[in-house]
Amino acid sequence: MSRPLFLVACVAVCALAPWVQATACYARTVEGVDFAESTSAAGATVNLIGVGIRTKWMTNVYAMGVYSANAKKSSAHIVNADEPKLLWLHMLRGIGGDKMRDAIDDGLEKNTGEADRAKLQADIDRVKAAFPASIGKGLVIQFAYSPAKGTTLKIGGSEKVTVPGKAFMVAMWSIWFGSRPADKDLRDAVLGN
């Protein structure tokens, strides 16, 4: 079935069968990982902005789907919008937890000022400490943001830590969508560039 016909069929199934969860209708599949057109995060419905693959040393590390209440294809909007949103990472290979912690530090250092990082350091440390020693292939990591609650890290479907406030969310989202993103190709793929 061609992609346009698949999408029409998917929309028809979702519209005609309310008992089918929205997550059954996939907007994009990348590296075998399906990302729904919309999903629930932080107590709200969020819509897919785009998807991409994080690569390092020519190796696929994870597939990412980026969602927000108002799915605008803009880095500034993705980082700064004070609305429900979600970063969905699906691991395509296993890595050590130390690699994820180092990547968070590196991304924050490149995209957040030293004074801002200092204010957020205790929360950054709590989030980094939540990652296990080993992050296996297939594991799903989610950063969900709610203006009322803050940023919640889920690993494998389990809530690990929540950090209140917009400032932490802006810092975290800037890792992928700031002026010096972790992976420019990933950012551009999500934005459709």
pLDDT tens-digit readout, 30-47: 888 999 999 988 788 999
Q: Which residues of the chain have pLDDT under 50?
A: 1-24
Residue 14's pLDDT is 44
Domains of the chain, CATH where assigned: 22-191 (3.50.70.10)
Strand 150-155 with 140-146, pairing: antiparallel
Please, where are the H alpha helices in the chain? 3-16, 75-80, 97-111, 114-129, 166-177, 184-191
Residue 25's pLDDT is 54
pLDDT tens per residue, range 5-22: 444 444 443 443 333 333
Q: Where are the beta strands (DSSP E) in 18-172?
A: 26-30, 33-36, 38-41, 44-56, 59-68, 85-91, 95-96, 134-135, 140-146, 150-155, 158-163
Residue 57's pLDDT is 82
**Do residues 29 and 37 make contact, with C-beta atoms less than 8 angstroms apart?**
no
Residue 71's pLDDT is 84
> Distance (Å, rounded) from C-alpha 104 to C-alpha 153?
13
Residue 58's pLDDT is 83
Residue 56's pLDDT is 86
> Distance (Å, rounded) from C-alpha 3 to C-alpha 27?
10
**Do residues 87 and 176 make contact, with C-beta atoms less than 8 angstroms apart?**
yes
Residue 5's pLDDT is 41
